[in-house]
Structure 1
Amino acid sequence: MQRISVIGGSRYFGKLLVERLLAGGHQVTVINRGSAPPPAGAEHLVVDRDDEAALIAALGSRTFDVVVDQVCYTPVQAAIAARAFSGRTRRYVMTSTIEVYDPATADLRTVPPGTPVPEEVVDASTWRVAMDRPWHDAAYREAHYAEGKRQAEAVFARHRGFGFAAVRSAHVLGGGAAEFTGRLAHHVEHITQGTQITVHAETLPTVFIHHEELADLLLWAATLTDVTGPINACSDGPLDVHDLGAVISAQAGRKAVYRRAAAGEHASPFSLDRHYAMSNARAKELGFSFSHTTDWLPGAVAEALVDTADSHHR
């Protein structure tokens, strides 16, 4: 049994993680602003993580074996957490993102085109941190999501108060309506309705992970290994938007209809004109086994089809 704190953990794979930790007999403390209660058996601290004094007060004398941070988006949030949890935990696991490899904002020149990107390409310990940007502004955070995650990783990577691991998640799918980004639902909706999906002239592949598999990997990272540094989290088998559409079409019995995006026009989610599929070799070498995307994607599409149909009947 370990003492685990989960920051966030109120929805989607974060909620699944809390449930898995409890099922494994761990002592779990969930820290969030109280938007939803945690599963029965978890301690709940209702506090705004951005309020450092309130966070420290809420923690009191508590100590943890591991902290899993599901909702760290900026270096300012990371710095607050690093100070608040120093001396309270031996390990800190942050949920990061594939977006740290976005070629629009990261230098991937050392990676041959089309090659899955390994973790060392983006070394957070060397990344510049800019605390003076308007990270408090929600619109700014959204527009600079990848940079915020990179800089948050950088703060933790340089901190010496605990061991740090960053789980860089691929695009997360599955769970039907629980998949709150709506990206899979977007494609399902267009294909079932026979409307056009806007795509780039050349569509490049990316990688995905099922929400349950990501919860399992976070559980592994928190309780079954002392790994530090970045860990790419993605199922085997990159797909492009046409591959995704083919799976949806097979499930829906409707042909996908595509339209080429005009210059400067936004394309549909998962139509990518840049390659940043990740390599999951490091996690495999450390002992984690991934599924293949095609093992679970038809089931995820089936869930999305049910939710789409239900929404049209409300």
Structure 2
Amino acid sequence: MVHQDSADLCVLYLGGTGTISASCVRLSVETGMRVTVVNRGRNSQERALPEGVETLIADVTDDDALLAAIGDRTFDAVVNFLSYDPEDARRMVSLFGPRTRQYVHISSGSIYAKPVRQLPISESTPTAPNPALEYAAAKWRTEQALQDAHVTQGFPLTVVRPSHTYDDASPPLPGGWTVVDRIARGEEIPVHGDGTSLWTLTHADDFAQGLVGLLGNPRAIGETFNITSADVYTWDQIYTIIAEALGVAPRLVHVASEMFPLVAPGWFWSGEMVGDIGHSAIFDTTKIRTFVPGFFPRLTFHRAASRMVQWRRDHPDTTRPDPDTEAVLTRIVGAYHAARDVFVARGAS
């Protein structure tokens, strides 16, 4: 269910063709909102903008270009998927404070302090800059800057914290389509820890229900929302579900989370292993369901896995394995076996 006055809303999306934002744009259009998207014009054919969306071409990091694109227009809501640092947050406050009645910042569930002391994670769970994961630390600092602007300047802020959100074109695996390809080929897949930590997965179409439902709601100003599904799996289950959809048996090797940064220090997912996905994450969504009574995620990962496998068949050019990621995964698996062989040899001596 979307806010009752949604058909009258004029909404600006900064970004709009990404994994999460594309679904939100589509649902906004379906509900009758007047939607404008600002991006660099490099729209992926995988997530083409729906008919009726106004597209403005500009680099959102360039004030002059962004102002030239939007002019003196105002918007009922501005949704920003592209803000990652405090300086950018302050720019957004200056640019859109006079131009919108609601500014929705897409933050991240990764800003919650790890390890989490109590599950499920609610909006009141402590947050902290994550030293192991610069992405999460940047999101935390950005959110802090915006919250300060809300308190001191009355900036009309709504904060949304998604967790691991995916769509058919973006599998929620560390390594993406390269991992899917390895599973299909029968190669070994490194899984952090013992594979039993719990993880929440949310399809972008389900996330969109919550976000679009908040647009135009004055009660959401000054509030923060977790928007996730209740679709929770162990990591072994996540990989196994993909394998079953491919019609193969997975070959999983369990690697200590701390080993990933040692073996692959430059890989984005190495920081995730120790700073985020290496910890269990289950979210309390009571608040979003209170503000958006129709919020009801429907797509389980079991069903989505089949859709992703079909997407791979239909889009071979965009789902090919990445050689650099392949090399990283091979190196991690090799390090696992090298360490194992050392301990086996010591045990035999």
Tell me which interval the TM-score lies in, with the shorter structure as reference length.
Answer: 0.7 to 0.9
Could you say what secondary structure the match of 1:77 adopts? helix
Could you say what secondary structure the match of 2:253 adopts? strand
1:65-104 alignment, distance < 5 Å:
65-101=76-112, 103=114
Note if 1:147 corresponds to 2:147. Answer: no
Mapped to 1, the partners of 2:201 and 2:83 lie a distance apart of 21
Decide which of 254, 261, 266 is 2:255's aligned counterpart: 261
> What amino acid sits opposite 2:282 in the alignment?
A
Mapped to 2, the partners of 1:77 and 1:32 lie a distance apart of 16
Mapped to 1, the partners of 2:192 and 2:19 lie a distance apart of 30
Could you say what secondary structure the match of 1:90 adopts? coil
CA drift at 1:20? 2.1
Decide which of 282, 302, 305 is 1:301's aligned counterpart: 305
Could you say what secondary structure the match of 1:121 adopts? coil
> What amino acid sits opposite 2:307 in the alignment?
E
Partner of 1:250: 244
Could you say what secondary structure the match of 1:300 adopts? helix
Mapped to 1, the partners of 2:214 and 2:69 lie a distance apart of 26
Structure 2 stretches of 5 or more lacking a match?
A: 1-7, 262-268, 321-349
Relative to structure 1, the CA distance from residue 80 to residue 179 in structure 2 (aligned partners, 3 Å threshold; closer, same or farther) is: farther
Decide which of 205, 212, 215 is 1:222's aligned counterpart: 215
Partner of 1:136: none
1:1-314 alignment, distance < 5 Å:
1-36=8-43, 38-101=49-112, 103=114, 108=116, 111-112=117-118, 115-122=119-126, 144-159=134-149, 160-175=153-168, 177-178=169-170, 183=175, 185-203=177-195, 204-223=197-216, 226-228=219-221, 229-261=223-255, 264-266=258-260, 272-286=277-291, 287-291=293-297, 295-309=299-313, 311=316
- Over the residues paired in the alignment, what is the CA RMSD in angstroms? 3.1
Mapped to 2, the partners of 1:309 and 1:19 lie a distance apart of 24
Q: Is the 8 A contact 1:32 1:47 kept in 2?
A: yes
CA drift at 1:240? 1.6
> What amino acid sits opposite 1:217 in the alignment?
G
Mapped to 2, the partners of 1:52 and 1:181 lie a distance apart of 35
Structure 1 stretches of 5 or more lacking a match?
A: 129-141
In the superposition, the TM-score normalised over structure 2's length comes to 0.72
Relative to structure 1, the CA distance from residue 53 to residue 244 in structure 2 (aligned partners, 3 Å threshold; closer, same or farther) is: same
CA drift at 1:202? 3.1
Mapped to 2, the partners of 1:181 and 1:200 lie a distance apart of 12
- % identical aligned pairs: 24
> Which of the pair has more CA radius of gyration?
2
- Which deviates the most, 148-157 or 184-193? 184-193
Could you say what secondary structure the match of 2:12 adopts? strand
> What amino acid sits opposite 2:147 in the alignment?
A
CA drift at 1:169? 0.8
In the superposition, the TM-score normalised over structure 1's length comes to 0.80
CA drift at 1:122? 3.8
